[in-house]
């Protein structure tokens, strides 16, 4: 029974429990989802520090400069007395008794005396003003970005607990397929093998390998009998033709078919199944644009779920141009972003990746849509 596009994505997402947590160095966490909330291990800043290069002063000027302090210096040291100043660098702990930091460009130094107007702002960053110790700075399920790595380091982390990436095997079926060079009569260059690694990585997965199998049930069955991956993405063989063996093979393996066709174009024969040992199989149609659409429809949400990513609100945009909705199926339409709208690029028949390759997004046009707002899937 065919499933609606939105529901199919939810089924794929719900089919996945986040995989186990691992501990990795900060650098190894990029792109993985946090398995635990992240409380700040230290306050930021750690103590009251100067926000400017200049002079920490007490009282009204002029002030007698009694020394110099750079960032990283320890906080102990004599408190300032009224009329005293300490030359200070941005980020250095301010001495006790400081009223304000006089920025160097507002100061006039003569010998060891500095003069200037007390600034309107004190230019002091108070301890914990940016982040107090113990405050949760990121939630479990957040995907670690470059900024998140910097933040984690600044609040004291050397390692992070993250969910491991789901391991994926791609199985490409089709006797007519060629992986390099120019196809001759009857041959077709494999276009799905090359497009999947990027899609899998972006969705939080790790491609273990790509295997090519002949259009035989036995070969497909053998490729599914593995225990070194979490997900097998089978390309081709999803339809009902004489060389399409995926559904019968899944039946023989006693797989639980969770999504058996999706009400969308392209990509309607795609499927999602759970094998008895818990691994998942995603069937991507052989037509390359249909495979891309299915990759975004079923494979990506499954990988997001396994990788422990928190669900995100959909991105939306306004679609302009002559797009006709279907009665009962969702259309996935390649479109480019312009200043004020999304514009379809065409060239989007199921076997043709030209439109998708030119596009920025797939615009999701639901059944009976009247526009202009659509959900978008970045490509
Ligand atoms: N009687 C019906 N026939 C078809 C239906 C249907 O509903 N009833 N659906 C059509 C749709 S829609 C699609 S999509 C395809 C899906 O077919 P398969 O997943 O079984 O894929 P194949 O038959 O192996 O190949 C279809 C087409 O794509 C080419 N192909 C396959 N793999 C690749 C690849 N890796 N790179 C490039 N091109 C590939 C293959 O040569 C065929 O031309 O079924 C329709 N039929
Ligand atoms: O679903 Mo097919 O994928 O439209 O060509």
Looking at residue 72, what is its pLDDT? 82
What CATH number was assigned to the domain covering residues 3-19+165-306? Answer: 3.40.980.10
Structure confidence at residue 75 (pLDDT): 64
Task: Report ipTM (2 d.p.).
Answer: 0.98
Predicted confidence at residue 371, as pLDDT, reads: 82
Q: What is the pLDDT of residue 74?
A: 67
pLDDT of residue 1: 82
Structure-token pair, residue 146: 């470059």
Q: Which atom of ligand 2 is nearest to the CA of 349?
A: 5
Residue-wise pLDDT tens digits, 366-378: 999 998 999 999 9
Domain boundaries, the chain: 3-19+165-306, 21-43+130-163, 49-125, 315-378
Residue-level pLDDT at 61: 83
Weakly modelled stretches of the chain, pLDDT under 50: none
- Count how many Cα atoms sit within 13 Å of the Cα of residue 118 in the half-sphere of its side chain: 12
Distance of CA 40 to the CA centre of its chain: 22
Domain 21-43+130-163 superfamily per CATH: Molybdopterin biosynthesis moea protein, domain 2 (3.90.105.10)
Residue 280: predicted pLDDT? 98
* CB proximity list for 90: less than 8 A, separation 6 or greater: 49, 50, 51, 52, 53, 71
Contact 17, 305 (CB under 8 A): yes
pLDDT of residue 243: 83
Query: What pLDDT is recorded for position 151?
Result: 98
Give the model's pLDDT for residue 56. Answer: 97
Please give the model's pTM, rounded to 2 decimal places: 0.94
Atom of ligand 1 nearest to the CA of 244: 20
What are 378's strand-pairing partners?
361
Give the ligand with the smallest distance to the CA of 215: 1
From the options 2.170.190.11, 1.20.120.330, 3.90.1300.10, 3.40.50.150, give the CATH code of 49-125.
2.170.190.11
CA of residue 7 to ligand 2 center, whole Å: 18
Q: Phi, psi (5° rounding) for residue 116? A: 160, 170
Q: Hey, whose CA ends up nearest to atom 4 of ligand 2?
A: 266
* Encoded tokens for 20: 């186990």
Of the candidate CATH numbers 3.40.50, 1.10.10, 1.20.120, 2.40.340, the domain formed by 315-378 belongs to 2.40.340
- Of the bound ligands, which one is closest to the alpha carbon of residue 265? 2
Q: Which residues have C-beta atoms less than 6 Å from ligand 1?
A: 172, 174, 176-177, 188, 190-192, 235-241, 244, 266, 268-269, 285-288, 290, 350-351
Hey, what are 172's tokens?
């490409």
């Amino acid at each position: 029974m065919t499933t609606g596009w939105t529901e199919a994505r939810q089924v794929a997402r719900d089919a996945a429990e986040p995989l186990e947590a691992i501990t990795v160095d900060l650098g190894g966490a990029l792109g993985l989802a946090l398995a635990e909330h992240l409380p700040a291990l230290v306050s930021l800043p750690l103590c009251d520090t100067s926000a400017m290069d200049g002079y920490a002063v007490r009282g009204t000027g002029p002030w007698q400069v009694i020394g110099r302090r750079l960032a990283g210096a320890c906080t102990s040291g004599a408190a300032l007395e009224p009329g005293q100043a300490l030359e200070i660098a941005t980020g250095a702990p301010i001495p006790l008794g400081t009223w304000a930091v006089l920025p160097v460009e507002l100061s006039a130094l003569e010998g060891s005396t500095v003069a200037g107007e007390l600034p309107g702002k004190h230019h002091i960053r108070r301890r914990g003003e940016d982040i107090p110790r113990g405050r949760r700075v990121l939630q479990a399920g957040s995907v670690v970005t470059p900024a998140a790595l910097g933040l984690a380091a600044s609040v004291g982390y050397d390692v992070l607990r993250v969910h491991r990436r789901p391991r994926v095997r791609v199985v490409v079926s089709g006797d007519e397929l060629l992986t390099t060079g120019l196809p001759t009569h009857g041959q077709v260059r494999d276009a799905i093998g090359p497009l999947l690694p990027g899609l899998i990585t972006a969705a939080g997965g790790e491609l273990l390998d790509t295997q090519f199998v002949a259009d035989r049930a036995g070969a497909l069955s053998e490729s599914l009998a593995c225990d070194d991956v979490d997900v097998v993405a089978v390309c081709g063989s999803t339809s009902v033709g004489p060389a399409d063996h995926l559904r019968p093979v899944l039946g023989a393996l006693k797989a639980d078919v969770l999504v058996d066709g999706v009400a969308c174009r392209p990509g309607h024969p795609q499927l999602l199944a759970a094998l008895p040992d818990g691994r998942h199989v995603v069937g991507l149609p052989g037509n390359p644009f249909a495979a891309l659409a299915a990759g975004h429809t079923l494979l990506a949400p499954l990988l997001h779920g396994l990788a422990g990513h928190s669900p995100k609100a959909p991105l939306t945009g306004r679609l302009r141009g002559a797009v006709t909705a279907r009665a009962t199926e969702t259309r996935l339409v390649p479109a480019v972003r312009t200043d004020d709208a999304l514009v379809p690029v065409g060239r989007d028949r199921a076997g043709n990746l030209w439109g998708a390759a030119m596009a920025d997004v797939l615009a999701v046009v639901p059944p009976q849509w009247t526009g202009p707002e659509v959900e978008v899937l970045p490509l």
